């Protein structure tokens, strides 16, 4: 269900509402733009992807900002959507917002400066270990959220998590004395992932700050919380944290939370880790590798991570 709250943009005409607005938009595409039924259906489905995403995030489509749209694009990339498909989705999104401006429903088009990903960019850039250290060291530890953000980056990099997996991580999923965390991946499938001693230390320091937060009912088991609201951290907030740190650190490449996941896998592979172990740690369960996973025991997986991840290799 779409979020109808909007303090910054114009409200829809009360007698017509949002359903009527979408009907008028699709009529515009059919009659004035001359779209075929197939093209119209594609635009409708692509726009629904955006609307569903922001409904989940509690954001009304009328109040969407350029930054939030960029986060949407980064999320599509995180899901493995190809640049060609993302460009097609964004074509429908741009068309919708241009229509809203044309009809006087919005004053400004938030998609005006939105760029599509390069067709040749299928994976995010990989950060070096030095760049990851730079980002972490850029965190302002005088701020209340400083230690939390350090724990977030170390956990992303140490465990190769998806941003959704990080945000859904529970205190009851942590087995820090044993050096593992339990991750709830796609399709509600669970996996155990080794965690580096450095990430463990950052988490334990964060728990001192976390204990002083007024946690909202229902969020007591969530690892990462909003300092001010005491609610579970959202994906958009994590994207924003990474973006602001990159800006402060002077890193100009395209970086998202998924970049830490890709860096995790790349650094392990470059360090000599077994590719099958990396696939298991990332939670990839393709048909070609399912049988392989049955022959990999947890002790071997832990040894692969401890022996080859940069956070575990001793000087």
Q: Check if 311 is active-site.
A: no
One of 168, 235, 258, 311 is an active-site residue; which one?
Answer: 258
237 plus 162 within the same structural domain: yes
Q: 146 and 69: one domain?
A: no
Range of the domain at 185: 129-308
Instruction: Evaluate whether residue 55 is within a structural domain.
Output: yes
Q: 200 and 67 share a domain?
A: no
- CATH number for the domain harbouring residue 234: 1.10.443.10
Cβ proximity of 85 and 77 under 8 Å: no
Whether 62 is a known active-site residue: answer no
Tens digit of each residue's pLDDT (9 = 90 or more) over 270-310: 676 665 667 677 776 542 332 333 333 445 555 665 566 66
Closest C-alpha to 214, from 166, 144, 167: 144
Report pLDDT digits (tens) over 39-69: 888 888 888 878 877 777 778 888 888 888 8
Q: Is residue 205 part of a domain?
A: yes
Q: Summarize pLDDT for 3-38 with one digit per residue, the tens.
A: 444 444 443 333 347 788 888 999 888 888 888 888
Q: Are residues 246 and 144 in the same domain?
A: yes
Backbone φ and ψ for 119, nearest 5 degrees, come out as: -60, -25
**Does residue 35 lie in a domain region?**
yes
Give the residue from 252, 292, 307, 46 showing the smallest Cα distance to 131.
Answer: 252
Secondary element (H or E) of residue 45: helix 37-57
Cβ 304 vs Cβ 279: under 8 Å: no
Q: Is 94 a catalytic residue?
A: no
The CATH number of residue 77's host domain is 1.10.150.130
Instruction: Identify the active-site residue in 148, 235, 261, 262.
Output: 261
The whole-angstrom separation of Cα 181 and Cα 169 is 9
Name the active-site residue from 186, 189, 228, 298. 186
The verdict on pTM exceeding 0.75 is no
Q: How far apart are CA 243 and CA 248, in angstroms?
A: 9
> Active-site residue 300, yes or no?
no
Would you call 43 a catalytic residue per the annotation? no
How many domains does one find in the chain?
2
How far apart (Å, rounded) are the C-alpha atoms in residues 51 and 188?
Answer: 23
- 284 is an active site residue: yes
- Are residues 282 and 236 both part of a single domain? yes
Active-site option among 62, 148, 150, 162: 162
**Is 98 found in the same domain as 191?**
no
Render pLDDT for 149-187 as a digit per residue (tens, 0 to 9).
999 999 999 988 989 899 999 999 999 998 999 998 876
């Amino acid at each position: 269900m779409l979020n109808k709250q909007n303090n910054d943009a114009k409200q829809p005409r009360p007698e017509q509402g949002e359903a009527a607005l979408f009907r008028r938009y699709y009529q515009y595409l059919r009659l004035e733009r001359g779209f075929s039924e197939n093209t119209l259906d594609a635009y409708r489905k692509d726009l629904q992807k955006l609307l569903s995403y922001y409904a989940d995030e509690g954001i009304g489509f009328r109040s969407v900002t350029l930054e939030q749209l960029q986060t949407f694009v980064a999320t599509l990339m995180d899901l493995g959507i190809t640049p060609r498909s993302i460009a097609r989705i964004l074509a429908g999104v741009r068309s919708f917002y241009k229509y809203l401006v044309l009809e006087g429903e919005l004053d400004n088009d938030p998609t005006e400066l939105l760029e599509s990903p390069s067709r040749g960019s299928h994976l995010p850039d990989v950060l070096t270990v030095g760049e990851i250290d730079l980002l972490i060291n850029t965190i302002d530890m005088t701020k209340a959220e400083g230690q939390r953000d350090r724990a977030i980056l170390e956990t992303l990099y140490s465990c190769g998590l998806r941003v959704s997996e990080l945000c859904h991580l529970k205190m009851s999923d942590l087995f820090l004395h044993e050096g593992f965390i339990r991750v709830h991946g796609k399709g509600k499938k669970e996996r155990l992932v080794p965690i580096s001693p450095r990430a463990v230390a950052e988490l334990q320091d964060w728990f001192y700050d976390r204990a002083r937060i007024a946690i909202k009912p229902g969020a007591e088991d969530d690892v990462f919380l909003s300092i001010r609201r005491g609610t579970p951290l959202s994906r958009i907030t994590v994207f924003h944290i990474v973006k602001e740190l990159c800006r402060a650190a002077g890193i100009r490449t395209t970086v998202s939370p998924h970049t830490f996941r890709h860096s995790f896998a790349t650094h392990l592979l470059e360090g000599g880790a077994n590719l099958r172990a990396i696939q298991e740690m990332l939670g990839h369960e393709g048909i070609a590798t399912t049988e392989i996973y049955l022959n990999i025991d947890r002790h071997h997986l832990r040894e692969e991570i401890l022996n080859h991840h940069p956070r575990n290799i001793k000087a």
